[in-house]
Amino acid sequence: MRRRTLVRTTVAAGSLALIATVAPAATADTRAAVPVVAERAVSADRHGDDDDDDHKRSYKSVGYFSQWGIYGRNYHVKNLQTSGQAAKLTHINYAFANVSPDGKCFITGPAGEADPWADYVRPVDAAGSVDGVGDTWDQPLAGNFNQLRELKAENPGLRNLISLGGWTWSTHFSAAANTAAKRKSLAASCIDIYIKGNLPVDGSRGGQGAAAGVFDGIDIDWEWPGSAGEDDTPYTPEDKKNFTALVKEFRTQLDAYSRSEAKRTGSKPKRYDLSAFVPTAPAKIDAGFEVRKIMKDFDWVNLQGYDFHVSGEKTTAQQSALFARNDFSVHQTVSDWLKRGAPAHKLVVGMPFYGQGWTGVSGGGDGMGQPAQRPAPAVHQAGFEDYKVLKGLAESGKYKIHRKYGQAWLFDGTTLWTYDDAKVLNAKTDYIRARGLGGAMFWSLDGDTDEGELVKAVARGLKR
């Protein structure tokens, strides 16, 4: 899956090129850094505004649910409820919606480009349903969307966002955003399907308003405006200003729809959330994002907090460290967005629920920064493993656990996995609170344990 740079169940070849072209040169001392305790001394209102008082904050806890997880991983919307994750989340980002070559959101299409069966057609039986009631043949909404609706009913205050694009499905963003007319068309098409809920008819499923009320906003996941993403994703220097204009268009249309619905129903206007997933590399930030401008229209952005190094590289390295010297890190990412004018309270820190792994590691020591032969074997995809599996490895006694400066890794002398465990996430939540940041985001919820260990650890750390 994209792990934010990978999608579905295959490695995007371009992701390795992405890291290689933007990563600072790794050194033998990439793990040395400022300790967490020093960062706690930083004033929380240094970059924020009047809601930065920690005791008055309401932190966001955003989890990505992958559309395709219902298949090989057998992870369903109901798992969010039974694990206790839903009760600790503020937002669920449903990944992903696709953009067509003609620049519009679409929900039905060729295999691998859309999956209406998973989204709203598939009947869910009583055992698999959030509310314990099975779908009937004639109801207009079934599948994941209906389960998300039921999940909100069980968890008042929980909000669902549709996430547009992702690593694989960002192909047509650049063309779709390059004129005002195209931007207006793209935003209108996405709002029509996912906010108004107007779904294509598929047998008894779909129709006008069938999915109304399921989604409470839109997450823009264009990877990346103005710089390289997957191999087949075009980009141009004009993407930077076009992205700003696209964000403005989404904000304008969401607000207009809210006002029209309030007038029609006589209710208070609803605030539709607008967010984005944004990169860690300074070069990519500068190539694609007019930070001060876009942050006026976004409610928040989810910072890439992982895939700093990936298992396709020839040397083991951290993938999600809080601090690092001469390398990517969470602290570096936060600092770079703050320097460019992003308000602290609108920065949500991405956290991985998976690990990057290498095998054939030589050089001894603790295994970090050493040559490796290939990605480590894993359940679904070599080099990438869910936290719930890595937890079992850590408890097996075969591996030694290392933790330093907001990162963890397992090493048995041959195989190394770098990942975030509950102790690492506790350090990261300390950091979020100390810096007055907006909260935490997780890719992806299906990597957590059946008991929702990681989501609950972050909730405790943020005192949600």
Domain at 230, CATH number: 3.20.20.80
Handedness of CA 399, 402, 408, 411 (dihedral sign): negative
Tally the domains of the chain.
Answer: 1
Which whole-number Å values give the CA distances from 253 to 72, 178, 194, 247, 431, in the listed order?
A: 37, 18, 13, 10, 35
For tokens 């700003």, name the residue: 244
pTM above 0.85, yes or no: yes
Model pLDDT, residue 463: 87
Residue 88 lies in a domain: yes
Q: Which conformational region is residue 74 in: left (phi greater than 0), alpha (psi within -120 to 50 degrees), or beta?
A: left
Residue 246 lies in a domain: yes
Query: pLDDT tens digits, residue range 30-88?
Result: 333 333 333 332 333 333 333 344 444 699 999 999 999 999 999 999 999 999 999 99
Q: Which domain holds residue 270?
A: 49-353+421-462
Residue 248 lies in a domain: yes
Closest Cα partner for 383 from 11, 71, 7? 11
Residue 225 lies in a domain: yes
Residue 222 lies in a domain: yes
Which whole-number Å values give the CA distances from 165 to 170, 307, 422, in the listed order?
A: 5, 18, 29
Share of the chain above pLDDT 90, in %: 87
Whole-angstrom Cα distance, residue 396 to residue 442? 26
Query: pLDDT tens digits, residue range 132-190?
Result: 999 999 999 999 999 999 999 999 999 999 999 999 999 999 999 999 999 999 999 99
**DSSP 8-class letter at 300:** E
Residue 87 lies in a domain: yes
Residue 69 lies in a domain: yes
Element of type H or E holding 359: strand 354-359
Whole-angstrom Cα distance, residue 82 to residue 163? 24
Confidence of residue 303 (pLDDT cuts 50, 70, 90): very high
Active site residues: 223
The per-residue DSSP string of 5-45 comes to TBBTTB--HHHHHHHHHHSPPP-TTTT----HHHHTTS-TT
Model pLDDT, residue 464: 56
Residue 191 lies in a domain: yes
- Angle between helix axes 239-265 and 180-190 (nearest 10 degrees) is 50
